[in-house]
Amino acid sequence: MLVGVPREIKNHEYRVGLVPASVRELVVRGHRVIVQQGAGAAIGLADEDYVAAGAEIVAGAGEVFARGELIVKVKEPQPDECRQLRAGQVLFTYLHLAPDPAQAALLLASGVTAIAYETVTAAAGGLPLLAPMSEVAGRMAIQAGAACLEKPRGGSGVLLAGVPGVAPGKVVILGAGVVGYNAARMATGLGAEVTVLARSPESLRFIDQQFRGRVRTLRSTAETIEASVVDADLTVGAVLVAGATTPRLVRREVLQRMRPGSVLVDVSIDQGGCFETSHPTTHADPTFVVDGIVHYCVANMPGAVPRTSTFALNNATLPFVLALAEQGARKALASDPHFRAGLNVDRGRVTCRAVAEALDLPWTDPASALRDGG
C-alpha cells in the first residue's frame, strides 16, 4: 500500500502523522511511504531521516493526497485538504466531527473512508488512540492554567503551589478520565488544593485510591459543579462522551459568581467544550476573557509540545496503521469491532452513531457499510 503523510497545516500544529521509525516498519513490510517535504522538521525530524527510513520525499501536499491510498495525519483535515480527498482513499487521523458540520459535509462529499483516532476502542475499555494525547493535554492543562493565573496574563495573581504561610490555589477538575487523572497528578504535584468531580462512583474511587485521600472527590451534579467552580482559582474541563458533543456543564451565569481573574481551561473544546462561554482558540491567540474570567480553549493543546506528542501518538497508532496497510481498510475494520468503532465516515455515509446524532444526519451501521462495500 502507498501511505501518504502530509505536513500539518492547522495553526501552530507541528506534529506529524508518522515518525521515521514508523515509516521503517511499513517499508520493511513491503509498503511505500511518501512524506511531504519538511513534515517533521519543526520537531527535529529531517527529510534525511525519512529517506534513511525508506520514505520518498515529495514537494507538496497535493502530491501526497493525489498518490496516497492511505493518508495518515494528526489533526482533522482543513477545508483545502478535505477537497483533495477522494473516493476509495482512506484517511486515518483525529476528526472530532460532532461539533464540526462543515468538515463532516466535506468528508461526506469526498467519498473518502475516514477513521477517527478518538473513537477507536479497546477490548479492556477506553480509547487507546485518544489516551496518549489526553495524558499530554491533562498535564498541560495545569501548566497552561497556572500561567493564565499570572496577573500580566489577566489572571488573579494566584500561585497554585502557594508558599509557606499562604494557602495554595484551588483547582477543580470536571471529569475523572485520562485527562482528569493526569491534570490531578500535575496539580497535586504542585501542591494545589484539588477537587475532582465525576458521575461514576468507580472513577471517583479510583482517584481516591490513587491519590490516597489527597484529592477531594465529589459526585458531579449541577449543585456540586456550581459550588466547586465558584470557589476555584482554576477549573479544568475534562469531560468526554466518545464521538459526541460535550455536555455544557457550566453556564454563563455561574461566571458572574466566580472570583475575577479565575481561569477556565477547556480541554473538551475539541468536542465542543463543557463551558457555555467556550469557543475554540489557537496557540497563537490562546485566551479570551468573559465576565472577568480567563478562558483557555486551545483546540490542539498537545501541539504545543509536538515532539513528545508525536512520539506518544505514534506508539499508539502504528499497530493500526500496519493493519490498514497489510489487510486493507475494509478487512482490517471488518475483522476488529474495536477498530471498526473508529469508522466515522464511509463513502458518503456517517457510520458513527454519536456523530450522526450530534449533526442530525442519517446513521449507517459500520458493519453493514463494510459488507456492502459502499
- Identified catalytic residue from 100, 266, 270, 346: 270
| Torsion sign (Cα): 36, 40, 41, 42 | positive
Closest by alpha carbon to 106, among 129, 127, 81, 137? 81
Report yes or no: 193 and 166 within 8 Å, Cβ to Cβ: no
Rounded to 5°, the CA angle 228-234-239 comes to 70
At residue 372, does pLDDT exceed 90? no
- Identified catalytic residue from 96, 233, 295, 346: 96
Q: What is the pLDDT of residue 240?
A: 85
Radius of gyration of the chain (CA): 21
What mean pLDDT is predicted for residues 329-350?
Answer: 97
The DSSP line for 254-286 is HHTTSPTT-EEEEGGGGGT-SBTT---BBTTB-
Q: Is 96 a catalytic residue?
A: yes
Q: What is the pLDDT of residue 125?
A: 87
Query: Is 78 in a helix, a strand, or coil?
Result: coil
Each residue's pLDDT tens digit, 156-179: 999 999 999 999 999 999 999 999
Report yes or no: 9 and 78 within 8 Å, Cβ to Cβ: yes
Upper half-sphere CA count for residue 248 (Cβ side, 13 Å): 11
Q: What is the pLDDT of residue 373?
A: 61
Q: From start to end of 156-233, where are the E strands?
A: 170-174, 193-198, 216-219
Q: What is the pLDDT of residue 374?
A: 47
Residues belonging to the chain: 374
For the chain, the average pLDDT equals: 96
Which band of pLDDT confidence, cut at 50, 70 and 90, is reported for residue 281?
A: very high
What mean pLDDT is predicted for residues 97-116?
Answer: 97
Over pLDDT 70: what percentage of the chain?
99
Q: Is 338 a catalytic residue?
A: no
What mean pLDDT is predicted for residues 328-334?
Answer: 97
